Amino acid sequence: MRLPTLYPSACAALLAGLLATAPQARAQPTAQESTAPAAATPSSTATPASPYVMPATQVWDMASDNGEVYRIFVSAPDKGEPPKGGYPVLYVLDGNAYFGSFAQARWVQDYLPVGKAIIVGVGYPGDKPWDVRRMADYTAQLREPLSPEVRAFAKYKSGARAPFLDFLTGKLRGEIAQRYPVNLERQSLFGHSFGGLFALYALYERPQAFEAIVAASPSMEWNGQHILEEECVFRDKVQAGKVGATSRLMVVVGDRDADGDPESARMLAERLEALSGWGLRVRLQRYPNEVHASVPAQAANDTLRFAFTLR
């Protein structure tokens, strides 16, 4: 089967914050800046400042079975009784970067059904929004021969997505269930960029592992469009009746995304929507004014509604 062609994107924006964490040169001050008075310093009587801590949240580090350490962020209702069967759970990849948006959206709506749920951000120890380890956790092993857009990144580890999926659906899920009253039948996943690519892999590899999956701006052009081959295998299995029930899928994209091709997301949703006769439910959510980096914050409320509102 001939695979559709996707436009290449700027790979740096798809990677694990490599450019985001690189040091930036400081511009020389202008003459006006050099003569400007120094910023005022707090007086000795000023109230000391402290870091802001979001209410109704917790954070801890835990290791996977293969020794990889992750930072786990949780936003959960801190009052009232859990719903019958327990709270539904949404796992948010790149938790350092995106947990705050999803936790805030849940917290301010905790009197609504979408707020009676648990958000679990999965990130890495440290204060950077992205970590280079995401390239390994979210992607397949780089294919040989290396395509031009990935050659610069061959020095970084890749191909650990299978054990990372094991961690998400095994040890981490069990830890969350021990700490909170959760509904194990209502577990959902959100991923953006490389995380969106991983979200598609999770659907194709373990169609029943999550009740709902949101793939935002998935980096389908990465690694010679390898994910499209996996899509074809998944589609053949579904049509052959070998899959059965599957996750619901929402594909999210910003129409001003210059680091990917918004049209490829539309075509993905269209191809998978053709499987509706076999039980796959697909939705496409487009944001006309959003770019690659702004999609997750814009998608927070739509994701909560998609994951937590029963239909």
Q: What is the pLDDT of residue 2?
A: 41
DSSP string, 262-295: HHHHHHHHHHHHTTGGGT--EEEEEETT--GGGH
Q: Quote the pLDDT of residue 230.
A: 98
123 membership: H or E segment, kind and range: strand 118-123
Helix (H) or strand (E) holding 122: strand 118-123
Query: Given this model, what pLDDT does residue 45 score?
Result: 81
Average confidence (pLDDT) per 10 residues, the chain, 311 residues: 43 45 42 51 79 95 97 95 95 98 97 95 96 96 86 90 98 98 97 98 97 97 94 97 94 91 94 96 97 97 93 58
**Cα–Cα distance, 260 to 151 (Å, whole number):** 18
pLDDT at position 18: 44
Q: Which residue is it, tokens 């995304």?
A: 257
| pLDDT on residue 311 | 58
For residue 289, which of 299, 302, 276 has the smallest C-alpha distance? 299
Question: Which sign does the torsion angle of CA 137, 139, 143, 146 carry?
Answer: negative
Structure tokens at 246: 């599957």
Q: Which of 163, 170, 253, 249 is nearest to 207 (CA)?
A: 249
Q: How far apart are CA 84 and CA 121, in angstroms?
A: 24
Distances (CA, A) of 155 to 32, 53, 146, 158, 198: 44, 37, 12, 9, 20
